[in-house]
Amino acid sequence: MVLGFFGLTPNYRAALFTQIHEIVFHSNGGYDWHTIYNMPIWLRNFTFNKLQEHYNKVNNVENEDTVKKSITAMKSAGATRDKSSSTKISPPTYVTKALKK
* pLDDT of the residue at 92: 63
Q: Is the pLDDT of residue 71 over 60?
A: yes
What tens digit of pLDDT does each residue of 21-56 get?
999 998 888 899 999 999 999 999 999 999 999 888
pTM: 0.57
* pLDDT of the residue at 60: 83
Domain positions in the chain are 10-75
Do the Cβ atoms of 38 and 24 come closer than 8 Å? no
- In angstroms, rounded to a whole number, what is the distance separating the alpha carbons of residues 23 and 35? 11
Q: Is the pLDDT of residue 14 over 80?
A: yes
The closest of 19, 15, 17, 14 to 51, measured between CA atoms, is 19
DSSP assignment, residue 99? P
Round to the nearest angstrom and report the end-to-end CA distance of the chain: 87
* Cβ neighbour number for residue 54 with a 10 Å cutoff: 11
